[in-house]
């Protein structure tokens, strides 16, 4: 079976892997000229379904708990399994209790254990929540690794190309995110920074709770840290705003004052595609299957969505028959 | 039923639209609460043109009256500009006026508030000023043209409930004919019931519902509490006494002593 995957973001790449692994001849077409620039490129790369459950519904935890295993298998060496540390400033201690009440899969840790987990945070926070089963990856490195793996599996990539000018496929998989034509989709703007400083070391993502804007700092290689991310009900892809920049920088600084001399090596803006329930969907329409609405859970939920989509693509004829049966049953009932 | 600026509203609960897990849950919460007015911010969302249009159209589709707000504005100029933008976007003269004095506590800057209220009232807006429980500020706002006041009962998002009952009583007493809506600081349905029992006309809240484990259930609970508090107020509550008063007569009973 020949399948055309539209979009080389995290949805398209993970879907291409699942399809190729099932024996499909896959071509990935992307209008951009490389892997960068989409919402995935600006993602935090946290595989943190237990933490996300604080504000997300149960399916995010159910669909996301195997994500770290998936990425480990598809892109060996990319996943760091060191958990997540959740902290709050002393005056926001109530937020820590609220977070704990809404989540599971953590253990409360005291000052000593915080110091063991993250020596640089020693003495800065009296208590925290530690989510030991969570993981993280660097989205850009992971996407590059997945791209190379796919290429080695025989997947063809066409960058800077228009899907409408390519034909001869049995099925199409639409993974175009915000570019998809779907009136139900809205964009949720996310702004992020990349800081670089040798003065701070972290082993895992740290979330700093605040009553209004919970932010996180994710360690990356070469003394870099991703600080993210705002959540604004806006489709604007314009540059990061001063207020957002201030909030992101202040969060990093509140986590550790040594971030004051960090270099701001990059600012980024991505627009997350979301449905009204903020949950992703895999849907079929004619010969096209679509994955969309990954919202702030791209790397977390793309593997599960890719699996569902690949199964739909391969079982489409059977699904069609089932759909007909259902209609028939309804009529006869 | 609740008469507000010539409009009859079925509910005395006004709900904010920020911080819900999803717009779908927001829509369910609005339904469950029975609210007839929602407030929506647009300062951050209007950057880059009308980039927040998608979310705003979701808000419009809720089928309730919209009270846009100027959340995030720290100066008179910003608040006035945002109010005008809100009037265009939502086609309403109603505006919840916030002029923030402190970025961290979100305490209102009452000086800027009075000034912005005057400008907007002159321009034909129906201004709902988010203010403190200070009586002099309240008077200045009324002089400036406001027909409604929205005092806090505790700082925004604090969930403390009415921290100064005396000030709230005194405000109600001083402005018996002005619609008073308690805005900000409510944490639990019992807080809402308490201020409604004091005779406030309505309450506006956001975080207590949006950040609940089950926002829809909490919205319903607040809806009931507001109704209960109002009905208690209109039904005339007993004043507390220092000694017990039995509800059945004691005359004719055997006395053991």
Express each pLDDT in A129-160 by its tens digit.
Answer: 999 999 999 999 999 999 999 999 999 999 99
- Name the residue among B21, B44, B58 with its Cβ closest to that of A232: B44
Where is average pLDDT lowest: A37-51, A85-99, B214-228?
Answer: A85-99
CB contacts of A279 in chain B (<8 Å) are 22
Chain B residue closest in CA terms to A92: B158
Residue B93's H or E segment, with its range, is: none
CB contacts of A277 in chain B (<8 Å) are 22-25
Question: How does residue A11 score in pLDDT terms, banded at 50, 70 and 90?
Answer: very high
Q: How many CB pairs under 8 A join A and B?
A: 64
Distance from A272 to chain B by nearest Cα, in Å? Answer: 13
* pLDDT tens profile B72-84: 899 999 999 999 9
Mean pLDDT along residues B45-60:
79
Contact call for B49 and A234, based on CB within 8 A: no
Question: How does residue B251 score in pLDDT terms, banded at 50, 70 and 90?
Answer: low
Query: Does residue B55 belong to the interface with chain A, where contact is any CB pair within 8 Å?
Result: yes
Per-residue confidence (pLDDT) for residue A36, from 0 to 100: 85
Question: How does residue A256 score in pLDDT terms, banded at 50, 70 and 90?
Answer: very high
Question: How does residue A125 score in pLDDT terms, banded at 50, 70 and 90?
Answer: very high
* pLDDT tens profile B158-170: 888 898 999 999 9
Chain B residue closest in CA terms to A103: B213
Query: Does residue A103 belong to the interface with chain B, where contact is any CB pair within 8 Å?
Result: no
Question: How does residue B252 score in pLDDT terms, banded at 50, 70 and 90?
Answer: low
DSSP bridge pairs for A2? A25
Contact call for A56 and B54, based on CB within 8 A: no
Interface test with A, best of B54, B104, B106, B212 (most A CBs within 10 A): B54
Query: Do B95 and B67 form a contact (C-beta atoms < 8 A)?
Result: yes
Chain B residue closest in CA terms to A102: B213
pLDDT greater than 50 at residue A325? no
Mean pLDDT along residues B183-206:
94
Interface test with A, best of B18, B43, B47 (most A CBs within 10 A): B47
Distance from B218 to chain A by nearest Cα, in Å? Answer: 15
Express as a percent the part of chain A with pLDDT over 70.
94
CB contacts of A272 in chain B (<8 Å) are none
Per-residue confidence (pLDDT) for residue B249, from 0 to 100: 65
Q: Is B96 a catalytic residue?
A: yes
pLDDT greater than 60 at residue A215? yes
Mean pLDDT along residues B58-69:
92
Tell me the pLDDT of chain B averaged across its residues. 90
Query: Do A106 and A131 form a contact (C-beta atoms < 8 A)?
Result: yes
Question: How does residue B176 score in pLDDT terms, banded at 50, 70 and 90?
Answer: very high
Contact call for B157 and A276, based on CB within 8 A: no
Per-residue confidence (pLDDT) for residue B126, from 0 to 100: 96
pLDDT greater than 90 at residue A287? no
Mean pLDDT along residues A98-125:
95
Domains and CATH numbers, chain A: 1-79+136-183+276-333 (3.40.50.720), 84-132+186-274 (3.30.9.10)
Per-residue confidence (pLDDT) for residue A323, from 0 to 100: 47
pLDDT greater than 70 at residue B69? yes
Contact call for B44 and A212, based on CB within 8 A: no
Distance from A168 to chain B by nearest Cα, in Å? Answer: 36
Mean pLDDT along residues A270-293:
94
CB contacts of A234 in chain B (<8 Å) are 44-48, 51-52, 55
Contact call for B47 and A235, based on CB within 8 A: no
CB contacts of A53 in chain B (<8 Å) are none
Express as a percent the part of chain B with pLDDT over 70.
95
CB contacts of A280 in chain B (<8 Å) are none
Mean pLDDT along residues A69-79:
97
Per-residue confidence (pLDDT) for residue B245, from 0 to 100: 72
Per-residue confidence (pLDDT) for residue B238, from 0 to 100: 84
Contact call for B51 and A236, based on CB within 8 A: yes
SS (H, E, C) chain A: CEEEEECCCHHHHHHHHHHHHCCCEEEEEECCCCCCCCHHHHCCCEECHHHHCCCCCHHHHHHHCCHHHHHHHHCCCCCECCCEEEEECHHHHHHHHHHHHHCCCCEEEEHHHHHHHCHHHCCCCCEEEEECCCEECCHHHHHHHHHHHHHHCCCEEEECCCHHHCCCCCEEEECCHHHCCCCCCEEEEEEEEEEECCCCCCCCCEEEECCCCCEEEEECCCCEEEEECCCECCCCCCCCCHHHHHHHHHHHHHHCHHHHHCEEEEEEEEEEEECCCCCCEEEEECCEEEEECCCCCHHHHHHHHHHHHHHHHHCHHHHHHHHHHHHHHHHHC
Per-residue confidence (pLDDT) for residue A327, from 0 to 100: 39
Question: How does residue B184 score in pLDDT terms, banded at 50, 70 and 90?
Answer: confident
Per-residue confidence (pLDDT) for residue A166, from 0 to 100: 87
pLDDT greater than 90 at residue A164? no
Mean pLDDT along residues A170-198:
93
| Of A167 and A109, more confident | A109
Report the distance separating Cα A157 and Cα A147, nearest Å.
Answer: 9
- Name the residue among A189, A232, A276 with its Cβ closest to that of B23: A276
- ipTM for the predicted complex comes to 0.79
Per-residue confidence (pLDDT) for residue A326, from 0 to 100: 42
Mean pLDDT along residues A115-129:
94
Express as a percent the part of chain A with pLDDT over 90.
80
Contact call for A236 and B47, based on CB within 8 A: yes
Q: Are strands B126-131 and A288-292 parallel, antiparallel or unpaired?
A: unpaired
Contact call for A186 and B51, based on CB within 8 A: no
Contact call for A233 and B54, based on CB within 8 A: yes
Contact call for A278 and B23, based on CB within 8 A: yes
- Name the residue among B27, B52, B207 with its Cβ closest to that of A233: B52
Contact call for B21 and A278, based on CB within 8 A: yes
Query: Which member of B96, B147, B211, B224 is catalytic?
Result: B96
Per-residue confidence (pLDDT) for residue A333, from 0 to 100: 37
For residue B152 the two structure tokens come to 């806090």
For chain A positions 267-286, those within 8 Å of chain B (CB to CB) are 274, 276-279
Question: How does residue B240 score in pLDDT terms, banded at 50, 70 and 90?
Answer: confident
Per-residue confidence (pLDDT) for residue A330, from 0 to 100: 40
């Amino acid at each position: 079976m020949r399948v055309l995957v539209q979009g080389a973001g995290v949805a398209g790449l993970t879907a291409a892997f699942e399809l190729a692994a099932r024996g499909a001849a896959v071509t990935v077409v992307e209008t951009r000229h490389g892997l960068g620039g989409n919402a995935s490129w600006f993602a935090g790369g946290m595989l943190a379904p237990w933490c996300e459950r604080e504000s997300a519904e149960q399916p995010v935890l159910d669909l996301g708990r195997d994500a770290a295993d998936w990425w480990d298998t598809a892109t060996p060496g990319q996943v760091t399994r060191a958990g997540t540390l959740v902290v709050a400033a002393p005056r926001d201690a109530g937020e820590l209790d609220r977070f704990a009440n809404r989540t599971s899969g953590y253990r409360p840790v005291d000052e000593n254990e915080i110091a063991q987990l993250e020596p640089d945070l020693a003495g800065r926070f009296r208590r925290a929540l530690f989510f030991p089963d969570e993981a993280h990856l660097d989205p850009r490195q992971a996407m590059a690794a997945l791209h190379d793996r796919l290429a080695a599996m025989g997947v063809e990539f066409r960058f800077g190309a228009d899907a409408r000018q390519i034909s001869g496929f049995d099925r199409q998989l639409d993974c175009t995110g915000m570019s998809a034509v779907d009136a139900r989709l809205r964009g949720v703007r996310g702004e992020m920074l990349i800081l670089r400083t040798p003065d701070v070391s972290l082993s895992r993502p740290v979330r700093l709770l605040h009553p209004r804007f919970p932010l996180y700092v994710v360690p990356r290689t070469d003394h870099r840290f991703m600080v993210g991310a705002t959540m604004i009900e806006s489709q604007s892809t314009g540059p990061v705003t001063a207020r957002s920049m201030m909030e992101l920088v202040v969060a990093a600084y509140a986590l550790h004052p040594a971030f004051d001399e960090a270099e701001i090596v990059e600012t980024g803006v991505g627009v997350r595609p979301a449905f009204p329930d903020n949950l992703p969907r895999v849907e079929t329409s004619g010969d096209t299957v679509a994955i969309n609405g990954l919202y702030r859970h791209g790397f977390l939920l793309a593997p599960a969505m890719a699996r569902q989509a690949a199964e739909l693509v391969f079982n489409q004829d059977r699904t069609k028959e089932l759909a007909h049966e259902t209609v028939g049953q309804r009529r006869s009932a | 039923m609740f008469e507000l600026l010539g409009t009859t509203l079925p509910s005395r609960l006004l709900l904010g639209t920020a911080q819900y897990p999803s717009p779908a849950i927001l829509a369910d919460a609005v339904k469950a609460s029975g609210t007839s007015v929602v407030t929506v911010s647009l300062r951050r969302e209007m950057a880059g043109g009308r980039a927040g249009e998608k979310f705003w159209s979701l808000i419009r589709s809720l089928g309730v009256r919209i009270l846009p707000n100027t959340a995030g504005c720290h100066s008179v100029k910003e608040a006035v500009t945002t109010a005008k933008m809100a009037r265009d976007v939502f086609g309403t003269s109603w505006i919840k006026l916030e002029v923030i004095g402190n970025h961290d506590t979100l305490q209102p800057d009452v000086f800027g508030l009075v000034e912005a209220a005057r400008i907007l009232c002159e321009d034909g807006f129906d201004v709902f000023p988010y203010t403190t429980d200070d009586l002099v500020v309240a008077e200045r706002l009324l002089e400036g043209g406001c027909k409604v006041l929205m005092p806090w009962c505790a700082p925004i998002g604090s969930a403390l409930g009415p921290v100064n009952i005396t000030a709230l009583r005194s405000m109600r007493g001083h402005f018996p004919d002005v619609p008073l809506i308690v805005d900000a600081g409510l944490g639990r349905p019992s807080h809402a019931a308490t201020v409604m029992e004091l005779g406030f006309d309505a309450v506006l809240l956001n975080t207590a519902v949006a950040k609940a484990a089950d926002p829809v259930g909490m919205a319903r609970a607040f809806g009931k509490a507001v109704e209960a508090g109002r009905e208690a107020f209109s039904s005339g509550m007993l004043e507390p006494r220092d000694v017990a008063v039995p509800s059945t007569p004691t005359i004719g009973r055997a006395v053991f002593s």
